[in-house]
Chains A and B, each alone.
Chain A
């Protein structure tokens, strides 16, 4: 798809909602170097959202949608939870079907799109919470990786079941007292990033969304590697400020506190050898392109 496809017939222009008019006029579909810096100067691919005020998940959503390298040909797959409150407002095709089956949906979807569009790039990106990814959907998360399905899995890790009111989840920290963990969680936070690496993911990152430029780089890499090489997994800390007793303004600080070198969301990255080679080639091409552009600008 290109921006051409979303154009409005002149006869119908004035009756279209203003958010759609904005999308046609200033969204960044097809912009090669799109990224988080477009936020504020162009139409975002997320309209309003109904998450809690100050929810870090809303920041994560905005950065991710601004950073997708190919939104005009990207289909996203969600799951049940707070993310499913946002997806209806997202201007890329997205699927919600059941709770926990997101990587199975994405497997079928990616294969169908490959059969139907053998000569075109169609990216598939899964975005689901930690309950969907690690608890109820774990077998489908892992099996998609074992099969080397070529799509990105993003997990919004808020360390609990937020949407149902703050129950224990597999990614919750040990000892945390929550609903369904009345005496504190009795076992460790599941080490999914390590499991992802062992399960065949080619790019695994564990971080917070406190730095938009970092989120942009990680998302871009993960989508491009998944497209060319194999599965990628990104685990982003998006704390549920409501359930951990924070105020609306405290989400960012909570993330900053949790990404200190000894903390559980200190930046961790794994890149497989083929992915390293791919990223190096990508960087070389990028350098070449920039040099050519500079030369062209110099001549002008």
Chain B
């Protein structure tokens, strides 16, 4: 077995110093930089001590995936290649993670759907792969525009699922995500989602950690299941193959294994809270009206709150950062004073509103909407208008806006 030792303070071949992750993320100086979301993904990966990244083109993640290729050419990534489809790429990621590597990939929309069979396998095999999901439409007719419906399909795969609002979230959470994912008692894949284009293709000021610091390398021997490298005894894993057997042992094996994945998500809760400073952020939750949102719907909600304030309507905000683990207790607490809860979403089904309704008492308080989908924007005015309508306040006709 490879020697287990601390790498902290030593340098990698690019001259970066392996740095205690907590210190790197919380104490190291930050440098404000003006970058697109895609460039921010590259900058996070530069500091991530990533062993293997596997890429495939699909809008809007193609630029980020290609930029990480440049990092590989510069020597920051152990290996990198373009796979043949998202299904294959996610299997290649699995192979690399089974082999003990820190693995990263990116995908979007139809790519997420094509690869879907892999995700419960990743979780079941306890592979702490990090996958960036730059959400876009998945429907026919073809859409490349932002739409977050694919997140709803990821919620029951056994993966950790986080939803970033800004490029700053993205930078921090990519690096912190590895730390949560790779905890021995968690050891699960992470889908780190953002709203395509809004985050990937817009520029923002992002405070970066120093480029000469990087995360400590992944140690595959802290995994709760053996890494497939023949560096530990090849024990006989079971008496009988567990598939195709309808006996009690098979039932017990699967039942306990499946429970273990969800228990591991639960155990990730304390690590997630520690690293991303809580599963939710809140503002003014003593108000009677509260907006609960995730992703860029939070930004639009924040603008709507400003508009409403001008009209004398006070409104609180809950930013949901982690969807798995699900912040049920936090949302119950943050909405306990609310008489009206609005859940604006960039998808037609309103999956976040459904999750919230299933979580809080008196769920008739939840107004699922407004919804936009298929690449529509969500002007703060339509959120404000929906709130005012529900409160019985006069709302200007949006159709007249701009005339």
Residues of chain A at the chain B interface (Cβ within 8 Å):
1, 5-6, 17, 19-20, 47, 50, 72-75, 77, 80, 84-95, 97-98, 101, 104-117, 122, 139-140, 143, 147, 163
Contact flag A140-B91 (CB < 8 Å), given A85-B244, A91-B234, A109-B228: yes
Say yes or no for B2: interface residue by CB 8 A criterion.
Answer: yes
Residues of B within 8 A of A89 (CB): 236
Query: Are B91 and A105 in contact (CB-based, < 8 A)?
Result: yes
Say yes or no for B237: interface residue by CB 8 A criterion.
Answer: yes
Residues of B within 8 A of A93 (CB): 226, 228-230, 234
B 232-271 binary contact with A (CB < 8 Å = 1; else 0): 1111111011111000000000000000000000000000
A3 to chain B, nearest CB (A): 10
> Which of A77, A95, A104, A112 contacts B88, CB < 8 Å?
A104
Query: Are B84 and A143 in contact (CB-based, < 8 A)?
Result: yes
Query: With A and B bound together, what is the CA distance between A267 and B54 in angstroms?
Result: 38
Contact flag A77-B95 (CB < 8 Å), given A93-B226, A122-B229: yes
Residues of B within 8 A of A107 (CB): 83, 92, 95
Say yes or no for B94: interface residue by CB 8 A criterion.
Answer: yes
Main secondary structure of the interface of B (DSSP, over half): loop
Q: Count of chain B residues with Cβ under 8 Å from any Cβ of A?
A: 48
Residues of chain B at the chain A interface (Cβ within 8 Å):
1-2, 51-52, 54, 78-79, 81, 83-85, 87-89, 91-101, 103, 117-118, 121, 125, 220, 226, 228-238, 240-244
Query: Are B98 and A101 in contact (CB-based, < 8 A)?
Result: no
Contact flag A116-B2 (CB < 8 Å), given A19-B236, A91-B236, A109-B95: yes
Residues of B within 8 A of A117 (CB): 229
Contact flag A98-B121 (CB < 8 Å), given A112-B101, A115-B51: yes
Query: With A and B bound together, what is the CA distance between A1 and B78 in angstroms?
Result: 23
Residues of A within 8 A of B230 (CB): 1, 72-75, 92-93, 122
Of all chain B residues, the one with the shortest Cβ separation from A71 is B230
Residues of B within 8 A of A91 (CB): 234, 236
> Which of A106, A116, A122 contacts B95, CB < 8 Å?
A106
A167 to chain B, nearest CB (A): 16
B375 to chain A, nearest CB (A): 30
> Which of A17, A47, A94, A114 contacts B228, CB < 8 Å?
A94
A156 to chain B, nearest CB (A): 16
Of all chain B residues, the one with the shortest Cβ separation from A47 is B236
Query: Are B79 and A109 in contact (CB-based, < 8 A)?
Result: no
Contact flag A115-B79 (CB < 8 Å), given A88-B236, A108-B96: yes
